[in-house]
Each structure stands twice: as C-alpha cells, then as structure tokens.
C-alpha cells in the first residue's frame, strides 16, 4: 500500500492527520510505457495536501517506474503556503508490505540514497492465530518459559523434575503460536500427593517436530498444599527420543500456583470432597467426561505463545487485537531466562498495547492468554467463543 505524503503519522495511524489520499487531479500510465518491456511508468499529478484545518498547503506529483525486480518512486512537493504547525512531521513515499512473517517475500529490500536495507531486520512484523478456550486466572507469575531449537521429523522428549511436594505441569508450544503437547482437556496425567495420586516430582512429554523451528517449553505451577506458596526448584531436560542424548537443559524456580489445596485442584466422580462439575466461574470450554481423579483446571488451550527477538537499549511497540470484542485477553512477557517481567491484564476492549524496553538482548516470549470469554459455553466442540488474535510488533 502506497502511503503517499502524510502529515504527522504514527505507527498506529499511518494516515496521519492529513495526507494525499484524496482523488488526484490526474493519474495515468505513460502511454509509451504501457506495454513495457523494461518498465511501466505511472504518474499522479497535482494530488492536494491539506493541513489539519483543511487548508490547501501543497500539491504533490509522484512518478512510479515499475520493474520486474521492484519499483522506483520520485515525489515532488509544490508548497502553496506555510504549514500552520512548525513542528509538523511529514513522511514521503512510504509503503506498507505484507511480509508474511518473513517467508516468501517478493520485494525484500528498500534502497535510498543512504543505502539498502533488508526488510524484516528491525522492522515491524505481524502474526495471527486462534485460541479456542478461556479461563479466568491470571497466570503471569505461575509460568516459566524456555526456547529450544528442534529439527524437522526428529522426535524429542521433554522431562520436567522438581524438588518438593507440589504439582507442576509442562507444555510444548510451537514458535508459530499453537500448543504441540501437554496436559489437555482429557487430563492425561495426574501428579499429586495422596490420596489424589502418586507424587514422583516428574512429568514428561514427547513430540515430533514437523518443521525446523524453535519450541517454547512452558512450566506451570498447578497446585501446592496447605494454602501456602512454597519455593520449588525445577529443571527441564530436552532429549533425543531415539537415544536419550541431551539436547538442552534449563533450570528455574516458581513460588505461585493455580491452586493451594488438592480439594480445589482436582475433581473425582466417586470420592466425596472432590467436586465433579465444571467450575463455571473459572473456565469455559472444558470437557470433564473422564472418570477417576482429574485436574480441575488446565490452561493448555487458553494460550498462544510468540517469540519476539529484542535488542537491549531499543524500544518496541506491541499491539494485540482479537475478534470478539467483549472477551478479555491478557498478555504476559517472559524474559530470555524464562522469568515473568511484564503483564497487561487490564479488562479492556481490543486492541491492547504495550511499550517494551528490553534490558537484555535475546528471545523474549509473549504469552497471549484468553482470560475471559464473551459467554459460557459448556460444549467443548463449539467454536462460538473461540477468538482469532492478531499481533503487531
């Protein structure tokens, strides 16, 4: 998209408070170049530019030469009168590109008299995805995140171990945002003190990488005992499943948990004292049709994760939007060491914005948490309150 000449634009308002997006006096393809073969020349003549008081202050002529490898733009501005605001800022010959997350970019360089710059290096990018379920729990300081590089068609095992009588969970997310493996709505593993289960301070997940990428390993503090928040030390070992050789290793700590007693943390269809119905005050589309002990709340389908590589000393603007405006989405920012650093948990309509000032260079993880759905839906197969999100950095 050609932005033309814009007065006082911002990253969130590329139209500014005045621009040349009015119908120009004349625009045409130069007849001698209509069929190429070297380039096609397109001209815009006398496009009006107004100030914020709707006063005509300039006319703009722009010439485009379109080649097979890209295009050249020349813009000339004829000032008719002075701008009433001496601090006004103008952008000339700006463009917005769909970079497709850096893949399959056709025009991947911008050339100016100062040199050439490759698109995607320090420039804005955007992604999107879908989150199906919601759960009213602020998880910001209950999770830790780590990244590991994996290769296509290779099977990996992720082992989580810890040192005290609490229950932790481990999840594997793709850098493309979605959950790959972890405790799901069928509650595939119970790891808790008796009488609920057998505590072995260990959980493991196995998955095969479908593409070469980075996985995001997430640890969740699920349950502690006796209404306290004890400090737990844990470690994660990533192994090749074929020969158990080590790929990577991480260590961390947690002190906050979703639940502080086992009665609230687990449901059981046959034992008194353990509820067997969905907690509608907390969670949305969850399937509880499982006999025996089951974890009462599991946020695996409520989150999406994205890697944002940031450089110390730079500042970054982040905006997240979603398509169900009466639903609430929370943002948690995790540093390269896996620790929670910043949240936006305000109950606001989309979009939600953050300004980031990284204190270290590396892969920061943004967790997008679908906190509250627009209504309660007990059918786990329904997509009525699923959200589609967009992320712009």
Residues 72 and 132 in one domain: no
Phi/psi for 284 (5° steps) reads -105, -110
**Number of structural domains found in the chain:** 2
Which of the 8 DSSP states describes residue 109?
A: E
Is 290 buried (19+), middle (13-18) or exposed (0-12) by CB count in 10 A? middle
The reported pLDDT for the residue numbered 180 is 92
* Domain boundary pick from 77, 96, 115: 96
- The reply to whether 250 and 326 lie within a common domain is yes
Residues 89, 178 within the same domain = no
Claim to verify: residue 91 and residue 173 sit in the same structural domain? no
Same domain, yes or no, for 68 and 214? no
For residue 85, give its domain range. 2-96
Q: What are phi and psi of 278, to 5 degrees?
A: -70, 135
Distance CA(39)–CA(35), nearest Å, equals 8
Q: What's the residue count for the chain?
A: 393
Q: What is the pLDDT of residue 354?
A: 86
Query: Is 116 inside any structural domain?
Result: no
Question: What is the residue-wise DSSP string for 138-162?
Answer: --GGGEEEEEEEE-TT-EEEEEEEE
Question: Both 161 and 18 in a single domain?
Answer: no
Same domain (yes/no): 76, 167: no
pLDDT of residue 23: 59
Is 101 inside a domain boundary? no
Q: Output the six-digit token pair for 200.
A: 């072995």
Residue at 112 is within a domain? no
What does the pLDDT read at residue 119? 55
Query: Sign of torsion, CA 339 344 345 351?
Result: negative
% residues pLDDT > 70 (the chain): 75
Q: Are 168 and 44 within one domain?
A: no
Residue 103 lies in a domain: no
pLDDT lower than 70: segments of the chain: 1, 11-12, 21-25, 52, 95-110, 112-126, 184-197, 268-294, 374-385
Could you give the CA distance from residue 328 to residue 347 in angstroms, rounded to a whole number? Answer: 6
Would 118 be classed as within a structural domain?
no
Residue 24 covered by a domain: yes
356 and 233 in a single domain? The answer is yes
203 and 252 part of one domain: yes
Q: Give the helix, strand, coil percentages of the chain, each rounded to 5.
A: 5, 45, 50
Closest listed residue to residue 316, CA positions, set 123, 140, 175, 108: 123
Residues 61 and 142 reside in one and the same domain: no
Q: Minimal CA–CA distance to 57: which of 88, 79, 77, 76?
A: 79
Backbone angles phi, psi at 109, to 5 degrees: -140, 150
Dihedral pair phi/psi, residue 368, rounded to 5°: -100, 110
The pLDDT assigned to 288 comes to 47
Give residue 124's pLDDT: 47
Alpha-carbon distance 188 to 315, whole Å?
A: 42
Give the pLDDT score at 339: 93
Q: What's the CATH number where 250 sits?
A: 2.60.120.380
Residues 134 and 71 grouped into a single domain: no
**Terminal-residue alpha carbon distance, the chain:** 19
Say which residue the tokens 């979603």 belong to.
Answer: 322
Calculate ∠ Cα 248-205-295, nearest 5°.
135
* DSSP result, 188-242: -----STTT----SEEEEEEE-SSSEEEEEEEEEEE-STT----EEEEEEEEETT
Kindly report, residue by residue over 341-369, the tens digit of the pLDDT.
998 888 778 888 888 999 999 999 999 98
- Using an 8 Å Cβ cutoff, are 132 and 121 in contact? no
- The answer to whether residue 36 sits within a structural domain is yes
pLDDT for res 189: 54
The reply to whether 76 falls in a domain is yes
C-beta neighbour count of 260 within 10 angstroms: 16
């Amino acid at each position: 998209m050609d932005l033309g000449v814009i007065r006082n634009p911002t990253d969130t308002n590329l139209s500014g408070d005045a621009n040349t997006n009015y119908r120009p006096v004349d625009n045409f393809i130069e007849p001698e170049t209509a069929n190429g073969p070297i380039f096609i020349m397109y001209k815009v003549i006398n496009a009006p530019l107004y100030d914020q008081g709707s006063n005509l202050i300039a006319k703009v002529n722009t010439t485009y030469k379109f080649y097979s490898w890209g295009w050249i733009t020349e813009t000339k501005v004829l000032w008719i009168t002075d701008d009433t605001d001496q601090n006004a800022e103008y952008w000339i010959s700006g463009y917005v590109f769909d970079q497709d997350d850096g893949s399959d970019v056709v025009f991947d360089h911008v050339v100016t008299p100062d040199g050439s710059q490759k698109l995607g290096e320090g420039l804005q990018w955007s992604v999107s995805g879908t989150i199906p379920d919601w759960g009213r729990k602020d998880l910001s300081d209950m999770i830790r995140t780590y990244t590991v590089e994996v290769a296509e068609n290779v099977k990996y095992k992720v082992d989580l171990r810890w040192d005290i009588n609490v229950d932790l969970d481990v999840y594997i997310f793709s850098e493309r945002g979605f959950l790959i493996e972890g405790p799901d709505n069928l509650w595939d593993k119970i790891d808790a003190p008796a009488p609920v289960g057998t505590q072995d301070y260990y959980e493991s997940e196995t998955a095969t990488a479908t593409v070469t990428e980075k996985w995001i390993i997430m640890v969740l503090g699920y349950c502690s005992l006796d209404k306290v928040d004890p400090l737990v030390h844990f470690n994660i070992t990533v192994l090749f499943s074929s020969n158990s050789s080590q790929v990577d290793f991480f260590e961390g700590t947690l002190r906050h948990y979703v639940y502080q007693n086992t009665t609230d943390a687990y449901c059981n269809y046959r034992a008194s004292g353990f509820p067997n119905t969905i907690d509608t005050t907390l969670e949305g589309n969850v399937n509880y049709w499982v006999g025996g002990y089951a974890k009462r709340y599991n946020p695996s389908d409520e989150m999406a994760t994205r890697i944002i590589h940031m450089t110390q000393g730079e500042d970054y603007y982040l905006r997240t939007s979603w398509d169900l405006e009466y639903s609430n989405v929370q943002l948690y920012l995790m540093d390269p060491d896996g620790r929670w650093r910043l949240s936006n948990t305000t109950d606001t309509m989309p979009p939600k914005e953050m300004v980031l000032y990284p204190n270290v260079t590396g892969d920061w993880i943004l967790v997008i948490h679908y906190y509250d759905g627009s209504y309660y839906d007990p059918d786990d197969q329904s997509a009525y309150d699923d959200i589609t999100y967009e992320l712009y950095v």
